[in-house]
């Protein structure tokens, strides 16, 4: 992937993680809990589930992208390779499903 393409992929991956984080925090809020100031999607999933929301199947699909909040902003951080375009595309699909779920929960 060309250098510019890698930079754009990192930006897309970062925003994908941020969208998942914000959606989980919105679901936690709908469950009546103040969301913590964390980026760990696994921790946020557990809090969303405690709110009696059946979000676990959707949220576990995005848990693996937690590291993208830091990895894509600071590529020299850790030994993890940057996400591929395919991984970003799959994560984006998962985030879209989570968004649909969150919109339905907010409407009820």
Spans of the chain below 70 pLDDT? 1-4, 52-53, 72, 75-79
If DSSP states are collapsed to H, E and C, what string results for 20-87?
A: HHHHHHHHHHHCCCCCCCCCCHHHHHHHHHHCCCCCHHHHHHHHHHCCHHHHCCCCCCCCCCCCCHHH
- Whats the size of the chain, residue-wise? 108
**Tokens representing residue 68 in the block:** 């993208």
Q: What is the pLDDT of residues 58-78, one digit of tens each?
A: 888 899 999 898 876 776 666
Q: Where are the domains positioned within the chain? A: 3-107
pTM above 0.75?
yes
* HSE, side-chain direction, 13 A CA sphere, residue 20: 35
Q: Which CATH class is domain 3-107?
A: mainly alpha
């Amino acid at each position: 992937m060309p250098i510019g393409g890698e930079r754009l992929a990192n930006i897309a991956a970062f925003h994908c993680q941020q969208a998942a984080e914000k959606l989980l925090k919105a679901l936690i809020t709908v469950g009546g809990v103040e969301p913590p100031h964390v980026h760990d999607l696994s921790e946020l999933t557990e809090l969303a589930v405690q709110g009696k929301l059946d979000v676990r199947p959707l949220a576990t699909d995005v848990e693996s992208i937690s590291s993208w909040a830091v990895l894509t902003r600071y590529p020299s951080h850790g030994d993890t390779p940057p996400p591929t375009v395919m991984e970003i595309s799959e994560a984006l699909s998962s985030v879209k499903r989570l968004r649909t779920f969150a919109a339905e929960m907010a409407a009820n």
